[in-house]
Amino acid sequence: MAVARVLGMSDTVPAGSRTSPADLVHAFHRAFGLDARSAPTEVPPGLAAHRGELLAEEAAEVAEVSVSGPLDRLAHELADVVYVAYGTALVHGIDLDAVIAEIHRSNMTKLGPDGSVSRRADGKVLKGDHYEAPDVAGALRRQGWTPRTPDGAGTPRG
């Protein structure tokens, strides 16, 4: 319960409550003194590589249990991937919820105006004629990101 107070959270989180992964991960980073940025920033290569390794490790654990593992372990590993992905976004100062919303907007344009859906043989939904690519750069610019120019000017490393 002391940790919850340190994090500014209630002593308990009611079962079944919905709390933003971004808020939870931000609380974790604050509590443990981990990197967190408030605006999109390129980070030092070593830190970026470390975050990539953490993501790869979690993705490998999902792959390991996705076919034959028990459902509770799969759920655990999937949640770990999301948690580490949100942490990586926080380290880079990315509002991942905003980026996901833009990806979702784009994905929904795969649906034809008449409600038709194009699918691959394995069921994957394909891009149709009305597909609009996501504007992730725009989502980041709205968060304060300045793209790096060919001469190296732009978002500083932090």
The band of 150, judged by pLDDT with boundaries at 50, 70 and 90, is confident
**Token pair for 155:** 């978002």
Please report, as a single letter, which amino acid is at residue 49: A
Length of the chain: 158
The predicted pLDDT at position 11 comes to 41
Question: Which pLDDT band, with edges at 50, 70 and 90, does 156 fall under?
Answer: low
Question: CA 85 to CA 63: how far, in whole Å?
Answer: 16
Query: Which residues belong to CATH 1.10.3420.10 in the chain?
Result: 1-12+19-94
Are 130 and 124 in contact by the 8 Å Cβ rule? The answer is no
Using CB atoms within 10 A of its CB, is residue 78 exposed (0-12), middle (13-18) or buried (19+)?
middle
Residue 134 tokens, joined: 């996501």
Domain 1-12+19-94, what architecture?
Orthogonal Bundle (1.10)
pLDDT, one tens digit per residue, over 18-60 is: 689 999 999 999 999 999 999 999 999 999 999 999 999 999 9
Would you state the pLDDT for residue 19?
86
Q: How far apart are the first and last CA of the chain?
A: 33
Q: What is the number of H-type helices and E-type strands within the chain? A: 6, 0
Mean pLDDT of 134-151: 93
Rounded CA-CA distance 9/25 in Å is 13
Answer whether 117's CB lies under 8 Å from 84's CB. Answer: no
